Amino acid sequence: MPTIHLIDGEKGGVGKSLVARTMIQYCLDKKMPFVPVETDRSNPDVAGVYKGICQLAVFTEDEKQADKADRIFELAMSKTVVVNLAAQSHRAVQSWIEKNQLIELGESEGVSFCKWFVSTGGYDSLNLFRQSVNSSGDKISHILVKNFGLCDDWEHVNSDTAIQNIVKKYNIKTIDFPKLAYKERNIIDQNRLTFAEARAYKEFGIISKQRVVNFLKLAYAAFETVGIWYEEVK
Give residue-wise pLDDT tens across range 92-105.
Answer: 999 999 999 999 99
What residue ranges of the chain have pLDDT lower than 70?
Answer: 64-66, 230-234
**201 Cβ contact partners less than 8 Å away, ≥ 6 residues apart:** 187, 191, 193, 208, 209
* Helix 16-29 / helix 206-224 crossing angle, nearest 10 deg: 90
CATH number of 3-179+220-233: 3.40.50.300
Distance between CA atoms of 24 and 28, rounded to whole angstroms?
6
Do 229 and 143 form a contact (C-beta atoms < 8 A)? no
pLDDT at residue 54, as a whole number:
95
Provide φ and ψ at 143, rounded to 5°: -125, 125
Strand partners, 178: none
Distance between CA atoms of 159 and 69, rounded to whole angstroms?
38
**218 Cβ contact partners less than 8 Å away, ≥ 6 residues apart:** 178
Domain spans, the chain: 3-179+220-233
Q: Tell me the pairing of strands 141-147 and 173-177.
A: parallel
3-state secondary structure the chain: CCEEEEEECCCCCCCHHHHHHHHHHHHHHCCCCEEEEECCCCCCHHHHHCCCCCEECCCCCCHHHHHHHHHHHHHCCCCEEEEECCCCCHHHHHHHHHHCCHHHHHHHHCCEEEEEEEECCCHHHHHHHHHHHHHHCCCCEEEEEEECCCCCCCHHHHCCHHHHHHHHHCCCEEEEECCCCHHHHHHHHHCCCCHHHHHCCCCCCHHHHHHHHHHHHHHHHHHHCCCCCHHHHC
pLDDT at residue 232, as a whole number:
53
pTM (two decimals)? 0.94
Do 153 and 126 form a contact (C-beta atoms < 8 A)? no
